[in-house]
């Protein structure tokens, strides 16, 4: 990373209100498929509001179902989806899914990366490494670990922290469909950060209480990413689906 680039922080930031929300013509898209990688405490249904918008814009869409048992297992699931997808691929990750795409994004079929309220560790770093540099968000208090080492958000934690800006009905669905997440995942480092080599786009959720918004903003500068900010809880793709989809389409262009 060029030091002058880091000094000036030349990440180009586009605010959500400035991004075009109209679907792009399929002919304008260089990427053919969007591969969507969900985060911890979630499953592929977390992209349900974004998928129709991307399809209308002319993208094929695959929502990966992560086992959430380890970084290696989740990366393997993403790589299978990339292998089977029509390329080029825009690879999208939410939350923990950002760690997954940082590793899986080194696949040559991946043309660009989109991080949605996500971790974007550097080479040799884990999610725990980068999170430790910032104060712990209050949402961490609502995570419990079982005897097998799997983490889970309480229903109250989903309502108060994880998805605070969704309707009660949506919050209940998020709580019911969450996937237990093994504790060893956040401690595992990526080998090489794909965002160092490929065009990178990021959604910063300014009301996130699960991942520090300050961390999300710092990652934008470090990666030199094109970014938007939305006044969202941690689940920006559910509370601001049009804005998130617009950035994914921009990455596909």
DSSP assignment of 108-144 equals TTEEEEEEES---PPTT--HHHHHTTSPPPGGGGGEE
Position 29 scores a pLDDT of 87
Note the pLDDT tens digit of each residue in 55-107: 999 999 999 999 999 999 999 999 999 999 999 999 999 999 999 999 999 99
pLDDT given at position 168? 97
Complete DSSP assignment for the chain? --HHHHHHT---B--GGGS--SPPPGGG-S--EEEEE--TT--GGGGTTTHHHHHHTT-EEEEE----S-HHHHHHHHHHHHHHSPSSEEEEEETTHHHHHHHHTTSTTEEEEEEES---PPTT--HHHHHTTSPPPGGGGGEEE-TTSEEEE-HHHIIIIITTTS-HHHHHHHHHHPPPEETTGGGPPPSS-GGGTS-EEEEEETT-SSS-HHHHHHHHHHHT-EEEEE---S-HHHHSHHHHHHHHHHHH-
- Residues with Cβ within 8 Å of 244's Cβ and at least 6 positions away in sequence, in order, are 50, 116, 203, 230, 236, 237
Pairing mode, if any, of strands 33-37 and 226-230? unpaired
CATH superfamily for domain 3-252: Alpha/Beta hydrolase fold, catalytic domain (3.40.50.1820)
Task: Report the pLDDT value the prediction gives residue 26, as an integer from 0 to 100.
Answer: 53
- pLDDT the model gives residue 191: 97
- The residue behind tokens 């799997």 is 150
pLDDT at 28: 80
Q: Which residue positions in the chain have pLDDT lower than 50?
A: 1-24
* Domain definitions of the chain by residue range: 3-252
Residue-level length of the chain:
253
């Amino acid at each position: 990373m060029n030091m002058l680039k880091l000094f000036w922080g030349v990440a180009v930031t586009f605010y959500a209100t400035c991004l075009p929300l109209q679907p792009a013509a399929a002919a304008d898209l260089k990427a053919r498929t969007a591969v969507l990688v969900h985060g911890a405490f979630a499953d592929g249904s977390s992209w349900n509001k974004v998928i129709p918008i991307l399809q209308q814009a002319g993208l094929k869409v695959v929502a990966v179902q992560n086992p959430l048992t380890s970084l290696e297992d989740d990366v393997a699931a993403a790589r299978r989806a990339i292998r089977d997808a029509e390329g080029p691929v825009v690879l999208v990750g939410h939350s923990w899914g950002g760690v997954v795409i940082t590793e899986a994004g080194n696949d040559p079929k991946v043309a660009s990366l989109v991080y949605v309220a996500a971790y974007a560790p550097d080479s040799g770093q884990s999610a725990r490494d980068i999170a430790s540099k910032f104060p712990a968000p209050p949402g961490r208090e609502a995570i419990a670990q079982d005897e097998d080492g799997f983490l889970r958000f309480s229903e109250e934690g989903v309502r108060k922290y994880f998805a605070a800006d969704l309707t009660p009905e949506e919050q209940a669905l998020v709580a019911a469909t969450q996937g237990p997440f093994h504790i060893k995942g956040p401690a595992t480092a990526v080998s090489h950060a794909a965002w160092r080599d490929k065009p990178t786009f990021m959604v910063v959720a300014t009301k996130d209480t699960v991942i520090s918004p300050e961390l999300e903003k710092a990652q934008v500068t470090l990666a030199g990413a094109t970014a938007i900010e939305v006044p969202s809880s941690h689940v920006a793709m559910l509370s601001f689906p049009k804005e998130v989809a617009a950035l994914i389409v921009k990455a596909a262009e």
